[in-house]
Amino acid sequence: MPELPEVETKTRNLRRRLIGWRIVDVWSDWPRYFRLSGGLSRVRRVLIGRRIVGLERRGKNIIFDLSGGHVLAVHPKMTGHFLFSPPPHPHYAHLIFDLKKGRAKSKLYFSDVRKFARILVGPKDVIMARPEISKLGPDPLGISFKEFMARTGRHRGRIKTILLNQEVLAGVGNIYSDEALYLAHIHPLSRLEKIPPAKLELLFNKLVWVLKKSLKLRGTTRRDYRDVNGRRGGYFSHRLIYACKGQKCKCGGIIEAVKIGSRTSHFCPRCQKICN
């Protein structure tokens, strides 16, 4: 599933290209996208004619600010991504926007192999108040270590589970939590309340560092993720531990994997010790 760097990359790309464009038509062959917004017919009535006036990211959601105080909020889930050109496999384009700016015309495609994306359309105050968005925690790139401690300190349990909790920190997922825990030498099964404050500060700093590094590389592509120009993210070839089970760590240990909840976590048992 795309995480903060991937969604932020898309949002920045879209912002550079789409401000001022007007939605003149909406096509979709997957009406389930719109069941939370009253159906495709209603969504078309709301969107058509509105101008895109801004774009922002909230956690893993891309928020299109539209004229008239409305928004289009898209959570790409596992395989969704926007493209300015038709996807290599056109049958995966389940949503297409026709756009116009002056005499110029363009299209924006939403490709989604698994069709799991969540799309919300409506007045901004209503959509942003929905629990899927309003309950999200702060962006880890926008808080201090003190705020990080205040957010995480309300919880007890495995540090990996807490990092993945979107109500604690919005945008962090499996890839970058694995990478940050590795860089901080913290085992993903360590209990938060047993980790020394100095180690937690190191974890926070490494999390911020790895998110920024991935942003510079346009995110991580392992399978489906592409930016809006169809390019793969570059971080996967720079990763340190994610999806490296069986490989040798630089300390000499062999990288292992363990299921925590429903997610597979990667760690080195030699340099990431459990704090219990």
Is the same domain home to 213 and 114?
A: no
Which residue has 């003149």 as its token pair? 24
DSSP state of 88: S
Boundary residue ending a domain (104, 134, 164): 134
Examine residue 151 and state whether it is found in any structural domain, yes or no. yes
Distance CA 37, CA 148 (A): 34
pLDDT of residue 224: 81
Distance CA 195, CA 213 (A): 25
Task: Report, as residue numbers or ranges, the catalytic residues.
Answer: 2-3, 60, 263
Q: CATH no. for residue 16?
A: 3.20.190.10
Q: CATH no. for residue 211?
A: 1.10.8.50
CA 9 to mean position of chain CA atoms: 10
User: Residue 126: CB partners within 8 Å, gap ≥ 6?
Assistant: none
pLDDT of residue 129: 98
Boundary residue ending a domain (92, 113, 134): 134
pLDDT of residue 223: 83
Is the same domain home to 240 and 170?
A: yes
pLDDT of residue 175: 97
Alpha helices in 48-99 (DSSP H): none
Q: What is the mean pLDDT of residues 101-121?
A: 97
Is the same domain home to 9 and 121?
A: yes
Q: From residue 249, how far is each of 184, 239, 246 by CA, in Å?
A: 14, 12, 9
pLDDT tens digits for range 47-78: 999 999 999 999 999 999 999 999 999 999 99
Is the same domain home to 44 and 119?
A: yes
- Local confidence band at 209 (pLDDT 50, 70, 90 cut-offs): very high
Q: Model's pTM, two decimal places?
A: 0.95
pLDDT tens digits for range 117-173: 999 999 999 999 999 999 999 999 999 999 999 999 999 999 999 999 999 999 999
Is the same domain home to 63 and 179?
A: no
Examine residue 273 and state whether it is found in any structural domain, yes or no. no
Domain count for the chain, please give it.
2
Distance CA 150, CA 168 (A): 10
Boundary residue ending a domain (82, 110, 134): 134
Average predicted confidence (pLDDT) for the chain: 96
The residue range of the domain holding 253 is 140-267
User: Residue 256: CB partners within 8 Å, gap ≥ 6?
Assistant: 245, 266, 267, 268, 269
